[in-house]
Chains A and B, each alone.
Chain A
């Protein structure tokens, strides 16, 4: 969520700077405030990073906020081997990638019908999707458990892929429908005049034009699915099927927690999501500004 918090700030900075170019002190104050905010956002990550490379006895005698005496990589290495982390990375990548691709496709199809196709009762469809989106996952657990069990999908990645494709596309449909409702009719009319059918219009006109928005959805779906904990915890039983966040849970004992190894695992657990965010950061910022079609 740090990603979400920093993105608007970055947006705000240049605008502020433009207004205050002549008034130097005001600009300076804004900068300080932003730096403090940044520090607050980054501080937990720093603490995690500090403790990830601290030896357990160093942690025990100097506490969580001290600077590590020496770099201690054993926590990370031990954790990696103990939970077979490469496998978990692969599992997480497969589910997140599959979910974000499938959910974007599903959202586009739904939104095309609701936003551009303007099917009868679309408002109620949207309300339905919104409610589906607001349901806490705890409510869904038992029905999904029995369904997946009777389909022999319990304890498989496929169950998680299906579930999250539906959950994410509920949000995607809601968002895209309102974007498509504003879709310039001139473009649609032109396509119709040129003899494009419904599918062709979708594929050749609507999708290319709304690509930035779709890219944003894809990125969000990927990160959200990557960070999901509760349903994967319930549905992925065998260690070989588990995803990264579930693997991190292994370290939480009944009465004991291993602070340094937990930090180490947290650090390598969030790195992929951060990496992914950095890679797609430009799509995200572009997508936010280009969300509505001009």
Chain B
């Protein structure tokens, strides 16, 4: 009984503490919290990742320029924020500023529910909009239905991401393969590997990587209008049209020709990356999020990257956004913090740690590898070449895409059947939206 009594006491204490907290929270709103003395800040990047390092620096700079303000930083799990953001931001436990996922189903949904602060005015006043290219801005703006691309600005990204081709330089030299510049060259390079008994592509078919290859192939025949139709619902998309048909057909051909192993349908993204790290495959097509990790973990061979040959459009987007909850008690401080993250010193730090900054000074990036990564991003971004990701247009579309592409890998579906299968949830979503 002694134990349970002390627990009761602890419970009562907790109750008192939570009441006390909410009591303080109610005062001081209304003037954007200019006189707030704490800034509660959440993000879910690892402490050693490019973002983690850069944001730690930003917090330092913020403390220096805001003496007397306490920064309460909490590192969160992606899962917790992803699943519960709606509930958390609607409660008194909401932070003052947090990192949140971009996209219709996440930031769009919360903006529609009125849980996020409209940043349009701040963004213009402080010039954040001028630092972001148009395709980066797509994911920061959401309309009244929570659909990205137009409307008010609800978030600010610090970094970008895009899909590229990673290659093992040793294996390329060993098999006398040159870096391809067209799709035809790319395919003949892969033929060389197949003839030598090497499966060229490390693919994770159980998760996002395979659908990004399919989308990359569809983009080979696509233009910006197709991307706008597919992602922003500007016009109806014909799933049997030339773009997606080429994507599905070529993907199926790649499996048939042995570029993609049959067993990769069950491989996870993590295992795909580890297999490439171990030098088991010469090529891996995936996103810039691997870059920092490869830089520190690939020790046994030199590696490099190139953009998917022949494409002007690539899967990619802005990174996650800084958003300010409507319930934030220190909005002014939150804006100041976002402003600091856009400063060159923070952006350059992000770039020098293997991230893709949105507003870095290219001359300040010292590492040649990171420079290559950032230059390639600048190339895509400045030519308006970010085409977002194939699973974005509809809620739950990720699993549909995984299933569809898995069907192509293990041969249980023809390209035609696969496209019909993925078309249905897409159209259903349009109907739900009334478009």
Judge whether A102 and B4 touch: CB under 8 Å: yes
Contacts of B14 in A (CB 8 A): 156-158
Judge whether A252 and B297 touch: CB under 8 Å: no
- Shortest beta-carbon distance from B5 to chain A in Å: 10
- Shortest beta-carbon distance from B276 to chain A in Å: 10
Judge whether A259 and B270 touch: CB under 8 Å: yes
Judge whether A152 and B22 touch: CB under 8 Å: yes
A98-B11, A152-B22, A233-B79 in contact; A60/B278 too (CB < 8 A)?
yes
Judge whether B91 and A154 touch: CB under 8 Å: yes
- Shortest beta-carbon distance from B193 to chain A in Å: 22
- Tell me which residues from 1 to 59 in chain B have a Cβ below 8 Å from any Cβ of chain A: 3-4, 7, 10-11, 14-15, 17-19, 22, 44-47, 49
Interface residue SS majority, chain A: helix
Asked if A153 CB lies within 8 Å of chain B CBs, one says yes
Judge whether B91 and A61 touch: CB under 8 Å: no
Judge whether B277 and A60 touch: CB under 8 Å: yes
A61-B300, A82-B75 in contact; A157/B11 too (CB < 8 A)?
yes
- Tell me which residues from 101 to 147 in chain A have a Cβ below 8 Å from any Cβ of chain B: 101-102, 145
Asked if A194 CB lies within 8 Å of chain B CBs, one says no
Judge whether B74 and A238 touch: CB under 8 Å: yes
Judge whether B274 and A63 touch: CB under 8 Å: yes
Asked if A249 CB lies within 8 Å of chain B CBs, one says yes
- Shortest beta-carbon distance from A102 to chain B in Å: 7
Q: How far is the CA of A57 from the CA of B88 in the complex (A)?
A: 37
- Partner of A253 from B4, B46, B74, B299 at Cβ < 8 Å: B46
Chain A contact-residue range equals: 35 or more
Judge whether A60 and B18 touch: CB under 8 Å: no
- Shortest beta-carbon distance from B249 to chain A in Å: 28
- Shortest beta-carbon distance from A82 to chain B in Å: 7
Judge whether B4 and A161 touch: CB under 8 Å: no
Judge whether B84 and A234 touch: CB under 8 Å: yes
Judge whether B7 and A97 touch: CB under 8 Å: yes
Q: How far is the CA of A156 from the CA of B4 in the complex (A)?
A: 18
Asked if A38 CB lies within 8 Å of chain B CBs, one says no
Asked if B77 CB lies within 8 Å of chain A CBs, one says yes
Judge whether A239 and B11 touch: CB under 8 Å: no
Q: How far is the CA of A122 from the CA of B270 in the complex (A)?
A: 53
- Shortest beta-carbon distance from A136 to chain B in Å: 15
Asked if B87 CB lies within 8 Å of chain A CBs, one says yes
- Shortest beta-carbon distance from A193 to chain B in Å: 30
Contacts of B131 in A (CB 8 A): none
Judge whether B75 and A250 touch: CB under 8 Å: yes
Q: How far is the CA of A82 from the CA of B270 in the complex (A)?
A: 23
Judge whether A254 and B78 touch: CB under 8 Å: yes
Contacts of A252 in B (CB 8 A): 77-79
Contacts of B153 in A (CB 8 A): none
- Considering only CB atoms, which chain B residue lies closest to A254 in the complex? B78
- Shortest beta-carbon distance from A72 to chain B in Å: 14
- Considering only CB atoms, which chain B residue lies closest to A241 in the complex? B14
Contacts of A249 in B (CB 8 A): 77, 79-80
Asked if B328 CB lies within 8 Å of chain A CBs, one says no
Contacts of B290 in A (CB 8 A): 256
Judge whether A256 and B293 touch: CB under 8 Å: yes
A94-B10, A238-B93, A257-B270 in contact; A152/B75 too (CB < 8 A)?
no
- Shortest beta-carbon distance from A18 to chain B in Å: 41
A-contact 0/1 string along B81-99, CB 8 Å cutoff: 0011001100111000000
Contacts of A153 in B (CB 8 A): 15, 18
A152-B19, A156-B18, A158-B11 in contact; A255/B93 too (CB < 8 A)?
no
- Considering only CB atoms, which chain B residue lies closest to A141 in the complex? B87
Asked if B311 CB lies within 8 Å of chain A CBs, one says no
- Considering only CB atoms, which chain B residue lies closest to A162 in the complex? B11
Asked if B130 CB lies within 8 Å of chain A CBs, one says no
B interface residue numbers (CB < 8 A to A): 3-4, 7, 10-11, 14-15, 17-19, 22, 44-47, 49, 74-80, 83-84, 87-88, 91-93, 101, 208, 269-270, 274, 277-278, 287, 289-290, 293, 296-300, 320
A interface residue numbers (CB < 8 A to B): 56-57, 59-64, 82-83, 94, 97-98, 101-102, 145, 149, 152-158, 161, 233-234, 237-239, 246, 249-259
Cβ contacts A to B, 15 pairs, < 8 Å = A57-B297, A61-B297, A94-B7, A152-B18, A152-B19, A153-B15, A153-B18, A161-B7, A238-B93, A239-B74, A249-B79, A250-B75, A254-B78, A254-B289, A255-B269
Which 10 pairs of residues, A with B, have the shortest CB-CB distance?
Answer: A249-B77, A60-B297, A250-B77, A155-B93, A237-B93, A98-B7, A60-B277, A158-B11, A239-B74, A156-B18
Known: A152-B15, A152-B18. 5 other contacts (CB 8 A): A102-B4, A153-B15, A234-B83, A239-B75, A255-B289
